[in-house]
Structure formats: structure tokens, C-alpha cells
Structure 1
Amino acid sequence: MPPAQELTIGDLSTRSGVPQSALRFYERQGLISSRRTTGNQRRYDRTTLRRIAFIRASQRVGIPLAQVGEVLGFLPEGQPPTKEFWVRASECWQEALDDRITQLQRMRDRFTSCIGCGCLSFEECALVNPDDTLGDRGPGAHLLDARGPRTN
């Protein structure tokens, strides 16, 4: 018997490993689509499995769903992402991914220099307190005195 050309939401969830709630969210966001039966049940084309694989892989590398949706918008309805499509998407996101890698490496290096310090407000710590304007005054509480907090 040939495999069914359409999947229920339960089948799609089982096959993709994505919870049904996430599949409904993807559908509301326009990332995947379904048709409704006369009983108002969702039915997904089998090609939806590839779209979900693309969505999940993109999310794993940090691509926001809005950008994933923009790229998926270039695919004709019902057509799964092809190898060429994946290559083009990768090329589109390469600079953003390279920037993210650089940022993560910088954060890793800063984190390594933080180990053992115990200070959560020091001049170099853009990791813990990136907008620390009072750090220029040195360590310690600057808005507190013996009478309690200042209200300016």
C-alpha cells in the first residue's frame, strides 16, 4: 500500500518530532499550511515534513522565525525546500551567522575572564552588565548611602 499523501497533525507531529502546538503556531505564522476536511480536521501534504525540517534547522542556528518565513515565502505553495533552496538560504544568512559566531566567541572570551572575580559590576563586564555607567566610579554601591537609596 503506498504511503498516504496527506498527514494528520498527529502524524506530522510524530514524524517531525515537533509538538502539535508548535505545528499550529507555524501554521498561524504562515510557515506551513494545511487543508481542512469536511470535519474541520487539518491535513498536511507530505512535503510539509521538509518545510518543518528547514524551519527547525534554521531555528537551531539562530535564525528568527520571521526571517525563516520570508525565505519560505519564495517557495511555491506545496513545494518542499530543495537542496538548491537550502544553499540559497544559507548564502542569504551567511553574514548574519558569521556575525553571531563572532559575537558568541567574544562572549565566551569575556566569560572566561570573569571566572573567579565574583564582581557583578566591573568596568570590563559587558557580559553581565553591558550598560554599566556607574562602573566608571569604581566598585561598590553608588546610589546607596547610610540613609538608604536616593530618589532623584
Structure 2
Amino acid sequence: MNNDMTTYDIGELSKMSGLPVSALRYYEEVGLVESIGRNGMRRQFGPEAPFKLALVSLGKLAGFSLPDVAELFGGKIAPDIPREDLHARADALDHQIKRLTNLRDMLRHVADCPEKSQLDCPNFQKLMRLAVRHQKISGA
């Protein structure tokens, strides 16, 4: 983390982070980053802003929502994330990976199925039953 007194205006921070200025404004609004003032009409951010934005990106990549990330930060630069939350998220990712791997394997089988019609393929029929079951469970 950068501990010098470097400041970044919102445009610089946008370019550094790859986030649109509107997202940075929203992140400030919900407490994910904090501006330290203005230079003219442009918000200024302190040296910790790029680090905080990297943490937000990591949290989003891990599947946490922005409100979850904001709650985990608790307004601090270095979050104290409950380890049980991290384990729970890792477990959810494991479940999702397993489900997606099974779906990928099933689709590959159906694509290569020797049956004349995919509708005659037992694995395709199984895939259809799973899709219907998933729809009933998720309400999608």
C-alpha cells in the first residue's frame, strides 16, 4: 500500500483503475472510497484509493456484492474480513465450479453423442430433466 501523500483526481483514478468516473462517484457514495477534497470541480483521492479499489475488485471477483464489500471494509483501509465468511464464499465457489463442470461435461457428451438425434440421447434427456428441476427450484 502507498503511504506517501500522493493524491489522484477522479480522472486519474478512473484511468488507473479502469472504472468509469460514475462508478467512482457511486463507490464514494456507498463508502467504498473517500475523496479528500476537490481541486476545482474534480474530486481528489488520497494515496490509499487505488489499494481500496483493488480490494473492491477482488471482493467483486470473489462474488461478494458491493454492499457486502462495503460492510466488510467497515470504513477501514485494511479490512478485517471474518474468516468464516471467506470459507463460506470459497465453499459456494466450489459448489458452483462442480455444477458448471458437470454441465460442461454433459454438453460435450451431448454434442458428441452417437445417437442420430440428440433427443434420443439418454444423457440429453437427463440434461433436460435437470434443467426443468433447476427451473422449478430457482423460479427462473
> How many pairs were matched up?
120
User: By how many angstroms is 1:48 displaced?
Assistant: 0.9
Task: Tell me how far apart the structure 1 counterparts of residues 63 and 101 of structure 2 sit (CA, whole Å).
Answer: 17
Per-residue CA deviation, residues 58-86 of structure 1 (Å, 9 max, x unaligned), is 111211111100011151xxxx32xxx4x
Distance 1:102 1:47, change over 3 A: same
Residue 109 of structure 1 corresponds to 102
Q: Which has the higher helix share?
A: 2
Alignment of 1:96 with 2:89, yes or no, is yes
User: By how many angstroms is 1:21 displaced?
Assistant: 2.2
- Could you tell me which amino acid in structure 2 is paired with residue 122 of structure 1? M
User: By how many angstroms is 1:41 displaced?
Assistant: 2.4
- Could you tell me which amino acid in structure 2 is paired with residue 110 of structure 1? L
- Could you tell me which amino acid in structure 1 is paired with residue 103 of structure 2? R
C-alpha contact (below 8 Å) 2:73/2:81 kept by paired residues? no
Query: Which sits farther off after the overlay, 112-121 or 93-102?
Result: 112-121
> What is the aligned-residue RMSD (CA, Å)?
2.8
User: By how many angstroms is 1:90 displaced?
Assistant: 7.0
Q: Give structure 2 stretches of 5+ with no counterpart.
A: 111-117
Higher relative contact order (CA 8 A, sep 6+): 2
Residue 122 of structure 1 corresponds to 128
- Could you tell me which amino acid in structure 2 is paired with residue 22 of structure 1? A
Percent of residue pairs identical: 22
Residue 39 of structure 1 corresponds to 40
TM-score, normalization by structure 1: 0.64
- Could you tell me which amino acid in structure 2 is paired with residue 130 of structure 1? H
Per-residue CA deviation, residues 1-33 of structure 1 (Å, 9 max, x unaligned), is xx7532101111222232222211211222111
Q: Secondary structure at the match of 1:125?
A: helix
Task: Tell me how far apart the structure 2 counterparts of residues 125 and 34 of structure 1 sit (CA, whole Å).
Answer: 47
- Higher-Rg member (1/2): 1
Alignment of 1:16 with 2:17, yes or no, is yes
- Could you tell me which amino acid in structure 2 is paired with residue 57 of structure 1? L
Distance 1:65 1:57, change over 3 A: same
